[in-house]
Structure 1
């Protein structure tokens, strides 16, 4: 069965949100979002 393209767009939105959280330095929220994706925790921190 072909993958639903709506799911692919939803995943893109979630990944965009994850990148925004990481760019803002909100590691806790990024960890929660990454866990929700099943990708595990974000291991590297963003340091300025």
Structure 2
């Protein structure tokens, strides 16, 4: 059970930090300057052939 306990402590501390950093990076990527045009273009993909 020592391996399980060590992995659980690692996930509780560094795992949470990694998830928070990933979330901040994803939000920053989505709201970066110049991404509106790319997002609008991606949103219109299903309607291009109509």
The TM-score by the shorter chain falls in which range? 0.3 to 0.5
Structure with bigger gyration radius: 2
**Length-normalised TM-score, structure 2:** 0.40
**Length-normalised TM-score, structure 1:** 0.41
Q: Which has the higher contact order (CA 8 A, sep 6+)?
A: 1
Which of the pair is proportionally richer in helix? 2
